Structure 1
């Protein structure tokens, strides 16, 4: 089973931002504590050294495929121990993130030894199981992603 961590709520373009993108968005907005930023920098650097950025190999992967999403291969177990730290940051900032598994998460666009990028199948074809990073459940159709809630309050388009 392939594994992905992502926002349960799509952004204004219909994308479900992944765990690293969610934490990086907090950092770019200056919302991380010093300790969280140190964790993010240290671990992002480790991930950058541990595997190839597909966009460096083929810049068109995301350019023509806005819904493309990164999935960990089940054999990439050496990449998983750092995930709880990212989840802890998201939980501290009330940003929901769900874990998804799928035997076939969509059309293959790129693959290396630990990850792949896929364009998702139509919603009816998707089989996902999810575990939240907290016990909170979405409430009555209101946005659970604070990035979306803030944008809606300000009258802007939603998204990260």
Structure 2
């Protein structure tokens, strides 16, 4: 895998900022020919630096007003409990992110739901019904101060 140079980094920054740039617009932003730009984007994708593109949607417009973080503690940390938990999380449309963590609990989950009633249903249907879940702690977000997927390049 080739080391990232200054132009690769400029391309990555530009695409993070606006993933819908045409190749010509991107080439102008990074001061390269469209052909050279397209080749670099192909290489960056092939090498795994670019993993996909997506639109950023409005949770409010889509009726997903409540953002919650949930700490999950398991009573057993065995492969079957981990697998069952992971599969339940993958099946839930409400879960945006789920991370196995080191520390005082096992998983940190970020989820979006319509409101508190929908959250109660989600909590009981997805987590509390699973074998191995010992306790949960929920943190409802009152204000999103910063939310970004930006990675410094």
* TM > 0.5 fold call: no
Q: Rg: which structure is higher?
A: 2
Greater RCO between the two (CA within 8 Å, min separation 6)?
Answer: 1
TM-score with structure 2 setting the length: 0.28
